[in-house]
Amino acid sequence: MEKNSLYDRPDLYDLMAPRDPMLEQFYVEIARERGGRVLDLGCGSGRLTIPLALAGLEVVGGDLSAEMLERARGRAEARALELDLVQLDMRDFDLGGRTFDTVIVAMNSILHLHSIDDFRGFFGSVGRHLSPNGRLVFDAFVPNVAMLSCDPNQRQRIGTVVHPALGTVTVEETLRYEPLTQVSHVDWYWSSEMEKDFWKVPLQMRSIFPQEMPLLIASGGLCLIERYGNFDRSPFGAGSLRQICVCGTGPVT
């Protein structure tokens, strides 16, 4: 993970990632369908890990950022929950033979993987941790070609939030897309009423086009079993904004 990462500041990150009841309901329900053991990769500050635990599921949260994991522990303690949280790199991890009925990677976190080796390592590691008939479930934006072709020097406002100490904070971004690597290089600029651009943080996100997705999944030994267009499980189609993928080591049973 880069220094000066967005994930170094969970207090700011959480403001830009508010609760999404539809997302939470989808992941809780799909985890219940497979069984009780869940691995929440890229769990961050526990945005999904905590609802999964509150639903009675046996959940492990894994993330690369120590700061985000510490935030998750604090949020869990405030609800009298004991979370099993592990610092790991989802490109290559080993949880000592533990297996899970559902492995979740929510909120576009899979787009932090950039290279073919990253994807092979990730899908291979997940496959080793899936129980028989277990499923990997993740969501990713469908690339927006118009957005990828925007002026890289032009700032776009993406949100205004209220921080308990900093007051009103405005977030702007610039985006430069590299077509050869399919990676968007994003810079977020954070400004308070007292200080413009008090923080600039980079963010690199991979674009995964719909016909490419099954090939990347197969590169790590898994297969795409189902793909939805939204968290209501509507079919994936030409107008879908998301790819919500259900993967396994074999056909549905």
> Residue 68: is its pLDDT beyond 90?
yes
* pLDDT tens sequence across 90-127: 999 999 999 999 999 999 999 999 999 999 999 999 99
Work out the pLDDT band at 146, boundaries 50, 70, 90: confident
pTM here? 0.94
Instruction: Find the mean pLDDT for residues 85-94.
Output: 98
Q: Can you give the pLDDT at residue 130?
A: 96
Instruction: Find the mean pLDDT for residues 150-157.
Output: 92
Work out the pLDDT band at 55, boundaries 50, 70, 90: very high
Q: Which helix (H) or strand (E) holds 75?
A: helix 66-78
Work out the pLDDT band at 252, boundaries 50, 70, 90: very low
Work out the pLDDT band at 253, boundaries 50, 70, 90: very low
> Residue 251: is its pLDDT beyond 60?
no
Nearest of 238, 247, 235, 251 to residue 211 by alpha carbon: 238
> Residue 10: is its pLDDT beyond 90?
yes
> Residue 44: is its pLDDT beyond 80?
yes
What is the CATH code for 6-142+208-248?
3.40.50.150
- E strand map for the chain: 37-41, 58-63, 84-87, 100-105, 130-141, 156-163, 167-178, 183-192, 199-206, 223-228, 242-248
CB 111 within 8 A of CB 216: no
Rg (CA), the chain: 18
Q: How many residues does the chain have?
A: 253
Q: What is the mean pLDDT of the chain?
A: 94
> Residue 31: is its pLDDT beyond 50?
yes
Q: Can you give the pLDDT at residue 2?
A: 42
Q: Can you give the pLDDT at residue 1?
A: 35
Work out the pLDDT band at 156, boundaries 50, 70, 90: very high
Instruction: Find the mean pLDDT for residues 9-14.
Output: 93
* pLDDT tens sequence across 161-219: 999 999 999 999 999 999 999 999 999 999 999 999 999 999 999 999 999 999 999 99
Tokens of 217: 């999944």
Q: Can you give the pLDDT at residue 148?
A: 80
